[in-house]
Amino acid sequence: MKVLEFSLKRKEQSVTLDGAPYKIVELDGETRDAIMEDNFSRLGFTADGKPLPMLKNVRGIQSKLLAACVFDGAGKLVPESVIIKWPATTVEALYAMAQELSGLTTKGKEEVLKNDSAVSAGTGTP
């Protein structure tokens, strides 16, 4: 059986917003669990206990994730109160990137399980 190798360094993606540097950093396990718990709490259910096809509340779902993993050029987390004022298309693109970095998408999960040390080339801190 092949031995899988993982890194304890968190992945990062550098981005610029209006020319200013930012980093999206992979969530740690505790924060990822809290984000997932918040997302699951947004599920609605029918009277017989089946999940509804839509979330009952999506307010802040993207900005909350980004506020946990987007760092400004000074290395400080960007507050949710700032992120919610960014253009929707910017938030949407950053959200998709953050989900993938932290394995919150099918593609992200496949990347995490892939035995590829190049995936974890980040430093773990901004």
Give the domain extent around 82: 12-120
Closest-CA residue to 103 (of 45, 22, 23, 33): 33
Distance CA 89, CA 93 (A): 6
pLDDT, mean over the chain: 85
Does residue 110 fall inside a structural domain?
A: yes
Does residue 74 fall inside a structural domain?
A: yes
Average pLDDT over residues 64-81: 98
Q: Provide the domain count of the chain.
A: 1
Cβ proximity of 98 and 83 under 8 Å: no
Which position has the higher pLDDT, 29 or 54? Answer: 29
pLDDT for 57 equals 76
pLDDT for 39 equals 85
Angle between helices 88-101 and 106-113 (to 10 degrees): 30
Reported confidence tier of residue 58, pLDDT bands at 50, 70, 90: confident
Does residue 4 fall inside a structural domain?
A: no
Average pLDDT over residues 80-103: 96
Closest-CA residue to 44 (of 58, 33, 54): 54
Query: Which pTM was predicted?
Result: 0.77
Does residue 108 fall inside a structural domain?
A: yes
